[in-house]
Structures are given as C-alpha cells and as structure tokens.
Amino acid sequence: MSPSSTALQASRHHVRVGIIGGGAAGVATCKGFLDAFNAAGYKRRGSGDDQTFDIDVFEKYGTVGGVWDYKERVGSTSPTTKTIPMYRSLRTNLPREVMSFSSYPWNLLPSAEGRSYITHSEVGDYLKSYSHRMGVNQYIKSNSEVEKIQFDESSPSSGKIIVQTSSTTSTYDHVVVCNGHYESPSVPPSLLPLSTAYGSSSFHSVEYDSGEDEKWRDKTVLCIGGRASGTDIAREISCVARKVYVSERGAAVEGWPGREKVEVVGGTVGLDESDSERGVLLEDGRVLKDVDVVIFCTGYDYSFKFLPPEVGVKFEKGERR
C-alpha cells in the first residue's frame, strides 16, 4: 500500500522517512513513498524547493535483496554456520509470475525467461534490478544495522522517532519496519533436550547449505518438520544419507530420487529420557534409536529487538512457524 499523498500534503514542509530493511518489502516501501512524494509535489532535500523529503533505507548487509542475497551473505563456499535460510540449490516454491512487482514484470530480467520456478540468485538479481530501475538505490544505507528505535522524548508532541545504528543517530517523521522474519531460528522448548543430547550433530535448517555435505553422507538423519524447506532438505539429503526420517504427518515425499531411503514418521515428542543412547520419542510411542544427525526444520520466531517496549509489540517464542 502506498502512503497517502493527501496525508503528506497535510504534513510538514520537510518529511524524513526511515525504512528498516533493504529486502523485497523495504525496496517496495521506498518506491511507494517516492511515488507518494512525487504525487504530492515534494522534491528531494537540497533541491531548494519548499516541500522536500529524505528517505533512508537501512540495510544490514552490503547490498539490497535481504535473505535472497545469497552471494553477499554466504559467499561461494558454505561457512561453518549460515545465518540465512537460503541454501545452494534452492528454487522458489511459488512461480515467478506471482512474485513480481506490478511495475516491473519478470520479462525485464531475461535470465529467468521460460522458467517459472527460479533460483535464489535470480530473485536477488531481480530485486537489485528493480531497486536500480526505480531509483531506490540512491536511498540505501548499506552495512547499517539498526540497533535501537525510540520516540524523541525531548519533544513528545512532535511524534518524531529516533533511529540509532552503530555509527549514526537520525530523527524521522515516519519509520517503517521491513526487516523480514528469518533472523531468529526457532526450536520448540520441548525439543531443546534433543538438541543438547545431539550437540554438534544437531542443526537448525538455517545452517543447511547442500545435500552433498559430508556431514549427511551414510548417516541416518532425522528432519523434524516437513513443510516447504523441511521436505526439500530431506529430499536433497536422501541422495547421500543412509536413511532419512521426516517427522511430519502427511509430508509429501513421493517421486523423490532417494525415496526408498525416506520414512515419514509422526511428530517428535523429544528425547527419550529412559534411553541412554539418545533415543528420539515419537508421538505414537515409537523410539528411534538409529539417528545420527538431527535437523530442526522448525521455522523462525519474529524478532524486533530494536523496538522499544512502549510500542507494545510482543511475540511468544514458537508462536510462528
């Protein structure tokens, strides 16, 4: 939704906007504000005009793209621990035709022509191209992680908001939070003893990068969670693992290359406390005793660490998957 040009016309002569996050939501929000400012007759600050604006898009990493910028945030080789959900072979589970912005169709990015389900790199390239074509790039503040947001207590009635990074402190009339929801990996509390028991042989799916990794080869792997990323990761691992359990009722695994090595089991209760061999207790009472590696494909929690308590935004761990 674009900001209202009528609301902007009724506001101050100079308007400052801060946008937290330079991923898909952040660049689209910036474009929306640019359209609204143009419609209201505002010019960029420094133009000498009576009605001016500033926009700062705070991006934690070096370029726009958010979680889709695999090259920037992971690189050509997998690090010891990844911090984004993208993995090497990931393709979208939605067709590109329904993922594009209305003002910038996919056919303007020839590399993806003819394929509906595209790679993470192609989505990243699309967002970079969109940002460039729409004039958003000039407002990006790269390598700027927002640490704190607070209301301007020196002028409570102004409604101004202070945004603080490690190197800057700026005041804005409007702040939009577009930081996404893949920053805080979630493991249900009931499964934490399982994570502790398996130690370095337990991972969250955010750390996964390739099914060819030696840590899965000839091992029995338990993937807890069988939604989009869980089943995709299990499918890739099944090509090299000895056996793969998918702990999710009704997970779709038919037609996989390594299907004969995959077994769909019920939900996981946790560690079998009566078993000294790190047994995994399932909801149906069965205990898996041959598991070598556990991957928690259990989603993410919302995280807005920079928001002040008075905003009233609260989330319970585990309430989002």
Give DSSP secondary structure letters for 133-151. Answer: HTT-GGGEETT--EEEEEE
Residue 221: strand, helix, or coil: strand
User: Which of 177, 206, 237 is the last residue in one of the domains?
Assistant: 177
Assess if residue 125 is contained within a domain: yes
Domain shared by 259 and 199, yes or no = yes
Between 310 and 263, whose confidence is greater?
263
Residue 3: per-residue pLDDT = 60
User: Which of 112, 147, 177 is the last residue in one of the domains?
Assistant: 177
Assess if residue 86 is contained within a domain: yes
Domain shared by 201 and 219, yes or no = yes
Residue 78: per-residue pLDDT = 46
Domain shared by 233 and 154, yes or no = no
Domain shared by 159 and 43, yes or no = yes
Q: How confident is the prediction for the chain on average, in pLDDT?
A: 87
The DSSP line for 112-139 is: GTT-SS-BHHHHHHHHHHHHHHTT-GGG
**Based on the structure, what is the number of domains in the chain?**
2
Domain shared by 43 and 170, yes or no = yes
Domain shared by 264 and 118, yes or no = no
Q: pLDDT class for 128, splitting at 50, 70, 90?
A: very high
Cα–Cα distance between 187 and 10 in angstroms, integer?
47
pLDDT in tens, 53-88: 999 999 998 889 988 988 766 654 444 567 888 999
User: Which of 153, 177, 201 is the last residue in one of the domains?
Assistant: 177
Structural domain of residue 283, as residue ranges?
187-298
Residue 8: per-residue pLDDT = 54
Between 48 and 104, whose confidence is greater?
104
Assess if residue 312 is contained within a domain: no
Look at residues 182, 215, 239 and name the one whose alpha carbon lies nearest to residue 295.
215
pLDDT in tens, 84-118: 889 999 999 899 989 999 999 887 776 666 788 99
Q: pLDDT class for 227, splitting at 50, 70, 90?
A: confident
Q: Are 102 and 52 in contact (CB under 8 A)?
A: no
Cα–Cα distance between 85 and 298 in angstroms, integer?
12
Give the DSSP H or E segment for 177.
strand 174-177
Give the percent of the chain with pLDDT over 70: 89
